[in-house]
Amino acid sequence: MQTVKMLKARKRIALIAHDHKKAELIEWATYNKTVLSRHELYATGTTGKLIEEALDVSVRKLLSGPLGGDQQIGALVAEGALDVIIFFWDPMEALPHDPDIKALLRLGVVWNIPIANNRSTADFLLTSPLMHQDYEVILPDYSQYLGRKV
């Protein structure tokens, strides 16, 4: 028997960007303001402040990524409190919180939620008809893992 989780038409979207990608994310968010304003927005630290100012919409701001914001987003994913991650990350720069980023992306895959890591994927995701309607996500079955002998 499959377990499903319903993503409502009004999605809970996490917006994250590394320092060198913040301007690109803000420009993208501004271009997509009409669509994004229909959803509930979450963001890490400075990114959240910048998005809130640029779009004039409410954003639930968490800690800065390196100070635990990436882990807060990951916890929200694990709790089923987020539906989508849009994370413009900088592949050209190693960052001290890379393990946190890897853990966050891993949790997104573990819980089968849509993740965009660049502008073109974010464009495809945001313009998908599924983004604007209820959608049943099939959750992976981890019963064998949870029931393993330790």
Q: Which residues are catalytic?
A: 70
Reference 104, options 145, 70, 58; nearest CA is 70
Q: At how many degrees (to 10) do helices 22-31 and 119-127 cross?
A: 20
**Which two tokens mark 33?**
């303001």
What CA–CA distance (Å, rounded) separates 23 from 29? 10
Hey, what amino acid is at 82? Answer: L
Give the Cα separation of 103 and 116 in Å (integer).
Answer: 15
* Count of CB atoms situated within 10 Å of the CB of 42: 24
